[in-house]
């Protein structure tokens, strides 16, 4: 079923999922914590199954521009909505799976709980996941 997705659609889904983990992880103070958060989140994402799992495990590139949280959010939040839209159109049975795996990944990447910046970013990620469009 993943073969029904174009290369661009696969890249969007992968960028959205891994980008969401990056957004939450950069809210951690210090590079070691950020790296640890990214690793934890990535492990969750690589455990996905179905079409979403195939895409997240694929060799497709990830396009995340920027260094600041705001710059990265400008790429990732629209990608999250677009990814949900793609899945709604081409693999509707996978939409809930995608939302669930991304949510679990960002929540587990936080460790002991979100700081205020992480909590705000998590809210934005969840809103983007819920507002996915087909256009």
pTM of full prediction above 0.85: yes
Q: Residue ranges of the domains in the chain?
A: 2-130
Print pLDDT tens along the chain (135 aa).
566 899 999 999 999 999 999 998 887 666 567 888 888 899 999 999 999 999 999 887 787 888 888 899 999 999 999 999 999 999 999 999 999 999 999 988 877 677 888 888 889 999 999 987 544
Q: Give the burial class of 37: count Cβ atoms within 10 A of its Cβ; 0-12 exposed, 13-18 middle, 19 or more buried.
A: buried
């Amino acid at each position: 079923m993943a073969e029904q997705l174009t290369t661009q659609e696969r890249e969007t889904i992968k960028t959205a999922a891994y980008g969401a983990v990056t957004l939450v992880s950069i809210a951690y103070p210090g590079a070691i914590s950020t790296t640890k958060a990214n690793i934890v989140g990535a492990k969750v994402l690589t455990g996905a199954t179905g079409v979403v799992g195939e895409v997240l495990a694929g060799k497709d590139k990830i396009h995340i521009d920027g260094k600041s949280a705001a710059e990265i959010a400008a790429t990732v939040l629209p990608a999250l909505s677009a990814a949900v839209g793609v899945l709604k159109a081409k693999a509707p049975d996978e939409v809930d799976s995608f939302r669930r795996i991304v949510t679990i990944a960002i929540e587990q990447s936080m460790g002991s709980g979100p700081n205020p910046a992480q909590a705000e970013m998590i809210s934005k990620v969840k809103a983007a996941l819920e507002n996915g469009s087909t256009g």
